[in-house]
């Protein structure tokens, strides 16, 4: 560990938080249909969309209407993407001549990109045509992110509302978030990445006659445009198999830094946008700070684990200051560690180092971050939404302790909201632990493991955690392109995405109908350090209680095995 490493980590964590503030205010203006400087360009396009869709953007929907539109849009997106992946062999822009994906793989991949998970059981450069990448995956990279943002917009309006039923219009939120926010920022980031060396070409590959007389075929693609929205939309699905570790996806430390900032910037912006639209800026800043504290602690822990002596290097008598297995020289420990924290805390799932080869406790931190429900800061909209569920539970717990009726952001929190919030929180352990338990005893699942012992259990646990939390990163040793894994992971992704969204919209519906209370001296303040501490405590206790037993059998026992192995060397 050195000061440059700590400085790099601090800058990579801090810059997206600071940038997220003004961008969040801009997003709030977009949600609220206020004037912005992009109106002259985007407003005509927007009007064209509404005319073609046949919707009235000012027609506010009830929570059921909003949820139905969201689900219909996502179902249609799934069908289209599944169709493209199955038919890609017959479609244009296929210079490599790739054939169709198998049914389980197409199901898994379509679910994966529609749910913003971007779990990849395939390797892009050997499987997907240009058309599948662009018209299929890039489109869902935008739309799954915009879908998440609509949930936050609806929930934020519910807190601002006073005895209303409407949550806004799903189609308007979808179109406006995409046109005003995701597309313009993606254009900027795509051009930055391209100038730094990420390929942006329609040719399939370049053939090189290498210096020593060999041949090397280097795959090419319109990568920069897809990578921009892959990170900004907190999607995480790489163009190439090894994702952002690939030297064409993360060519330089600066390109890596820009990509890392992009992973978190809109997640934080969604917190600030939520705060402005919900008329609760101070409160949302408080919960954003709670998330930043946890994220920073995880990044610091990962930097520490990856600068501990790894048994293999110690046994070989090599320099053992950094666990370089599965890491790139240009990134080293700090850029890899902070990325690992950000990608697992933010439901992104792209990797610039191989998580499977992290020290045991490092892998444990990555899993724990995902198991918290992707709230640090999570995906655009869904992150702040789940964080709000945690805040409701924290307010409820505090209410029990001090005997006050819980209130949050001017809304009374009653039994129904707390029950719904618990439902949203309990989906994750049910899916993760249920599927992991089944996979741990079924031979059809165990055939895919790459490592024996507790690390094998970690592979299983990591896979279902990543899928259920809609993260998408992997302990990549697992051979996941089998019918069992494609199907169960696909189901886990669906479970982790839509029940939670519907529950959040149901809570929004219930809250919108309640009167907006004036701040009173009797209510627990939710914008100060005490509440930040309480919220962090609730998050850690909830997450810990749910997942500690499973983690104890995987990464934690492996950590003690590692200490044992080192003592014997």
Partner 1 sequence: MLALLRPALVSLGLFTLLLGLAYPLAITGVAQAAFPQQADGSLILRDGRVIGSALVGQAFTSPAYLQGRPSAVNYDATGSGASNLGPLNADLIAETLDRATAWRAETGSAEVPGDAVTASASGLDPHISPANAMAQAERVAAARGADISQVRAVIAAHVEGRTFGILGQPRVNVLQTNLALDDAFAPEQPDRP
Residues 6+ apart with CB under 8 A from 546: 371, 428, 429, 433
Compare residues 228 and 413 and give the one whose CB is closer to partner 1: 228
Tokens at 376, concatenated: 């640090």
Compare residues 315 and 401 and give the one whose CB is closer to partner 1: 315
Length of the chain: 569
**Count of residues near partner 1 by CB under 8 A:** 124
What is the sign, positive or negative, of the torsion defined by CA atoms of 533, 534, 537, 538? negative
Q: Report in angstroms how near the CB of residue 302 gets to partner 1 at its nearest.
A: 14
Q: Report in angstroms how near the CB of residue 210 gets to partner 1 at its nearest.
A: 5
Would you call 317 helix, strand, or coil by DSSP?
A: coil
Please tell me whether residue 325 binds partner 1 under the rule CB under 8 A: yes
* Residue in 166, 237, 311, 379 binding partner 1, rule: CB under 8 A: 311
Q: Is the peptide bond before 221 cis (omega within 30 degrees of 0)?
A: no
Please tell me whether residue 201 binds partner 1 under the rule CB under 8 A: yes
355 to 145, 225, 263, 373, 438: CA distances (angstroms) = 24, 25, 17, 19, 23
Would you call 207 helix, strand, or coil by DSSP?
A: strand
For residue 407, list its beta bridge partners.
412
* Residue in 129, 225, 262, 488 binding partner 1, rule: CB under 8 A: 225
Compare residues 25 and 192 and give the one whose CB is closer to partner 1: 192
Compare residues 42 and 278 and give the one whose CB is closer to partner 1: 42
* Residue in 19, 68, 491, 553 binding partner 1, rule: CB under 8 A: 68
**Are 232 and 144 within 8 A, CB to CB?**
no
**Helix locations, 88-182, DSSP H:** 103-114, 124-127, 130-131, 139-160, 170-176
Return the residues of window 327-356 that contact partner 1 according to CB under 8 A. 327-332, 335, 351-354, 356
Please tell me whether residue 85 binds partner 1 under the rule CB under 8 A: no
Please tell me whether residue 171 binds partner 1 under the rule CB under 8 A: yes
* Residue in 242, 259, 439, 534 binding partner 1, rule: CB under 8 A: 242
Residues 6+ apart with CB under 8 A from 228: 185, 186, 187, 188, 189, 190, 193, 262
Return the residues of window 428-457 that contact partner 1 according to CB under 8 A. 450-453, 455
Compare residues 266 and 421 and give the one whose CB is closer to partner 1: 266
For residue 205, list its beta bridge partners.
219
Q: Distance (Å, rounded) from C-alpha 416 to C-alpha 392? A: 11
Q: Report in angstroms how near the CB of residue 120 gets to partner 1 at its nearest.
A: 12
Burial of 391 (0-12, 13-18, 19+ CB in 10 A): buried
Compare residues 9 and 372 and give the one whose CB is closer to partner 1: 9
* Residue in 326, 434, 483, 544 binding partner 1, rule: CB under 8 A: 326
* Residue in 37, 163, 209, 520 binding partner 1, rule: CB under 8 A: 209
Burial of 148 (0-12, 13-18, 19+ CB in 10 A): buried
**Are 99 and 127 within 8 A, CB to CB?**
no
**x/- track of binding to partner 1 for residues 127-146 (CB under 8 A):** -------xxx-xx--xx---
Return the residues of window 508-567 that contact partner 1 according to CB under 8 A. 558, 561-562, 565
Please tell me whether residue 263 binds partner 1 under the rule CB under 8 A: no
């Amino acid at each position: 560990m050195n000061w440059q490493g700590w400085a790099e980590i601090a800058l990579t964590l801090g810059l997206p938080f600071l940038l997220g503030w003004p961008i969040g205010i801009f997003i709030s203006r977009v949600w609220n249909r206020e004037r912005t400087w992009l109106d002259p360009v985007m407003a005509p396009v927007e009007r064209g969309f509404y005319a073609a869709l046949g919707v009235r953007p000012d027609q506010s929907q009830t929570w059921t209407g909003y949820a139905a539109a969201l689900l219909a849009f996502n179902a249609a997106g799934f069908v289209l993407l599944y169709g493209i992946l199955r038919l890609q062999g017959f479609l244009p822009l296929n210079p490599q001549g790739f054939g169709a994906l198998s049914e389980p793989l197409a199901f898994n991949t379509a679910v994966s990109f529609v749910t913003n998970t971007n779990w990849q059981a395939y390797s892009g450069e050997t499987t997907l045509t240009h058309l599948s990448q662009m018209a299929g995956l890039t489109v869902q990279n935008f739309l799954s992110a915009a879908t998440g943002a609509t949930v936050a917009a609806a929930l934020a309006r519910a807190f601002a509302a006073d005895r209303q039923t409407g949550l806004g219009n799903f189609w308007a939120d979808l179109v406006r978030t995409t046109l005003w926010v995701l597309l313009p920022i993606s254009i900027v980031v795509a051009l930055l990445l391209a100038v730094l060396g990420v390929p942006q070409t329609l040719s399939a590959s370049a053939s090189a006659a290498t210096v020593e007389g060999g041949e090397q075929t280097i795959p090419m693609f319109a990568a920069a445009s897809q990578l921009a929205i892959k990170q900004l939309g907190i999607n995480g699905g790489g163009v190439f198999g090894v994702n952002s570790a690939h030297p064409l996806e993360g060519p330089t430390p600066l390109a890596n830094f820009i990509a890392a900032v992009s992973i978190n910037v809109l997640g934080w912006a969604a917190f600030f946008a939520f705060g402005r639209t919900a008329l609760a800026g101070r409160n949302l800043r408080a919960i954003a700070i709670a998330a930043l504290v946890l994220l920073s602690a995880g990044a610091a822990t990962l930097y520490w684990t990856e600068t501990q002596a790894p048994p293999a290097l110690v046994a070989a008598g090599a320099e053992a200051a950094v666990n370089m297995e599965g890491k790139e020289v240009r990134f080293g420990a700090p850029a890899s560690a902070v990325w690992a924290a950000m990608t697992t805390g933010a439901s992104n799932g792209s990797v610039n180092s191989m998580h499977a080869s992290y020290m045991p406790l490092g892998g444990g931190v990555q899993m724990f971050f995902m198991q918290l429900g992707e709230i640090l800061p999570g995906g655009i909209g869904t992150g702040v939404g789940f964080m709000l569920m945690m805040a409701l539970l924290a307010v409820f717990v505090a209410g029990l302790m001090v005997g006050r009726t819980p209130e949050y952001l001017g809304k009374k929190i009653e039994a129904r909201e707390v029950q719904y919030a618990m439902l949203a929180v309990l989906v994750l352990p049910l899916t993760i632990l249920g599927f992991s338990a089944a996979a741990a005893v079924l031979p059809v699942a165990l055939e895919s493991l790459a490592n024996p012992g507790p690390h094998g259990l970690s592979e299983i646990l990591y896979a279902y955690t990543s899928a259920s939390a809609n993260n998408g990163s992997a302990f990549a040793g697992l051979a996941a392109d089998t019918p069992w894994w494609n199907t169960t992971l696909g189901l886990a992704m669906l479970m982790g995405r839509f029940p939670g969204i519907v529950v959040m919209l149901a809570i929004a519906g219930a809250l919108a109908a309640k009167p907006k209370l004036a701040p009173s001296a009797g209510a627990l303040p939710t914008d100060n350090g005490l509440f930040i501490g309480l919220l962090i405590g609730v998050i850690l206790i909830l997450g810990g209680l749910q997942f500690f037993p499973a983690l104890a059998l995987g990464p934690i026992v492996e950590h003690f095995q590692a200490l044992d192995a080192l003592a014997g060397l």
